[in-house]
Structure 1
Amino acid sequence: MFYKGERIAVFIDGANFFSAAKALNFEIDYRLLREEFMRRGKLVRMSYHIALLENDEFTTLRPLVDWLCYNGYSVASKTAREYTDPQGRRKVKSNVAIDIAVASLELSPHVDHIVLFSGDGDLRPLVEAIKRTGVRVSIVSTIRSQPSMISDELRRTADNFIELDQLKAVISRPARQHTAAEHDEPENELAEAAAS
């Protein structure tokens, strides 16, 4: 799926990627993830997109975002909006698909292969547009979760589909003990962003 010497750009929908890894029961080691794609070709850009809650001066995601910024990732964050639905449930509205679309289209003339870590069906027109420029597109997500984390239309449109479960052994963090606060807060925040 990857050719020696090809220029690669990777775009990660942070909340979607987190949810897919959680569904497969593993934690992502972002250092190993970057190293994996450096081995696969000439890594031009490793871009991580995330929505953070407005009016939240400290977020449990801040340490991850800071680490990514200092370790070879281009991080694009935007503000997520929190609201209460008619049933009184707290909801978070965030969507980074348009940000990923703009960034990947701008970079497509400078790469041979774009890898999208997302299963969001809204990205199908983006994949079609990138392919028309002659750039190959791979999608990384999973069909091994219940329900599947990838849109069938997106999977069919891409040049390649990479099953996240097959990358698990290469990019997962070793298991470690968590405190309750350490375990719950980041997952809840990312899961809420992914669900919207």
Structure 2
Amino acid sequence: MDYSNERVAIFVDGANMFYAQRVLGWHLDFARVIEYFTRGREIYNAFYYTGVQVPPDNSQRDFLTALRHLGFTIREKSIKETLDQSSSSVIRRANLDIEIVIDMFSTVNRYDVAVLMSGDGDFERAVELIRSRGKEIVGVGTRGMISSELENACDRYVKLEDIRSEVEKVR
């Protein structure tokens, strides 16, 4: 089958992939990720969503600069700190789920296949609606960190463990 005129959009939930890599014990090479998911297809765009520390952390800045050089559109939000009253611990987070969904919908006419790199079940309804518009949705995550709702909503779900040789950062 000839996929050469199909366009792919990649949406990376940065926090989800950060924890996935920690669980896996190896790192993703995002140039190889793009290569793997576009094989024989055209890339429309790749988006990376992440929380950033204020002031910015140098290693994260360097990482985001490298992603920009690969052609990623970076969406970032300042990390907010809140105190968990029950444990007295500080919770740091920057939720970018809405930004991911907005980009998936606002660009829906520019791609044929959406690759959603997240295991977050909050995306289930958005995935169902995008599929109803005739788009193929490929979910990507790691075992033990994939919501069954999201996995079932996608056309197919790729486990990072199964494609390690294709997407791992080789040092």
| Residues in 2 aligned to 1:26 and 1:3: alpha-carbon distance in whole angstroms | 33
1:153 matches 2:143: no
Local SS of the residue matching 1:11: strand
TM-score between the two structures when normalised by the length of structure 2: 0.92
Give, as a single letter, the amino acid of the residue that structure 1 aligns with 2:154: A
- Structure 1: 5+ residue stretches without partners: 176-196
1:62 alignment partner in structure 2: 61
Change (3 A) 1:40 1:153: farther
- Structure 2: 5+ residue stretches without partners: none
Q: String of CA shifts for 1:4-27, please: whole Å, max 9, x gaps.
A: 222110100011012112212211
Q: CA RMSD in A?
A: 1.6
Pick aligned residue for 2:168 from 142, 167, 172: 172
| Residues in 2 aligned to 1:12 and 1:40: alpha-carbon distance in whole angstroms | 21
Q: Which runs of 4+ in 1 moved over 6 A?
A: none
Asked if the contact 2:20/2:142 (under 8 Å) is kept, the reply is yes
1:72 alignment partner in structure 2: 71
| Residues in 1 aligned to 2:104 and 2:11: alpha-carbon distance in whole angstroms | 7
Asked if the contact 1:109/1:133 (under 8 Å) is kept, the reply is no
Local SS of the residue matching 1:34: helix
Change (3 A) 1:156 1:38: closer
Q: String of CA shifts for 1:59-89, please: whole Å, max 9, x gaps.
A: 4311101111122111111112012211221
Quick check: which one's strand share is greater? 2
The equivalences for 1:5-16 within 5 A come to 5=4, 6-16=6-16
1:95 alignment partner in structure 2: 95
2:132 alignment partner in structure 1: 132
TM-score between the two structures when normalised by the length of structure 1: 0.81
